[in-house]
Amino acid sequence: MTQNPAALVAPDLAQIEALAEAAIAALPDSYAAAARAVQLRIEDFPPEDLCAEMGIDDPFELTGLYEGTPLTEKSVMDQPMQPDAIWLFRRPILDEWADRGNVTLGDLVAHVLVHELAHHFGWSDADIARVDPWWE
């Protein structure tokens, strides 16, 4: 049964978070537990001060961000200042999804999430490709 296009609404923050949580659950067991330890933050757009700090003029250019210290650089001597976090930005993700037109929203959210997890885990491009065969 085809849904009436006039009745469609854009996925909200909770729906994007649910897609991200599903992507975490689908990770290989060796990564899923560590990925759950990273705080997940879903916002409509990146904060203006963050865009300014990164030199980003258009907030639609940033779909996700890792904020923290990669596991490969952490030391037991480090005092954590705040939890590591992955930010996913709903509106830029939806914009990219609409522009692409050839991927599911779940696949795109998973791709952005895995890219940000790569920063946390210190993954190489080959490591990313094993977890997220996006470019195949």
pTM of the model: 0.86
Sequence spans of domains, the chain: 11-69+83-131
pLDDT in tens, 54-95: 999 999 999 999 998 877 777 666 666 778 999 999 999 999
pLDDT in tens, 31-53: 888 899 899 999 999 999 999 99
* SS3 track for the chain: CCCCHHHCCCCCHHHHHHHHHHHHHCCCHHHHHHHHCCEEEEECCCCHHHHHHHCCCCHHHCCEEEECCCHHHCCCCCCCCCCCEEEEEHHHHHHHHHHHCCCCHHHHHHHHHHHHHHHHHCCCHHHHHHHCCCCC
Instruction: Name the architecture of domain 11-69+83-131.
Output: 2-Layer Sandwich (3.30)
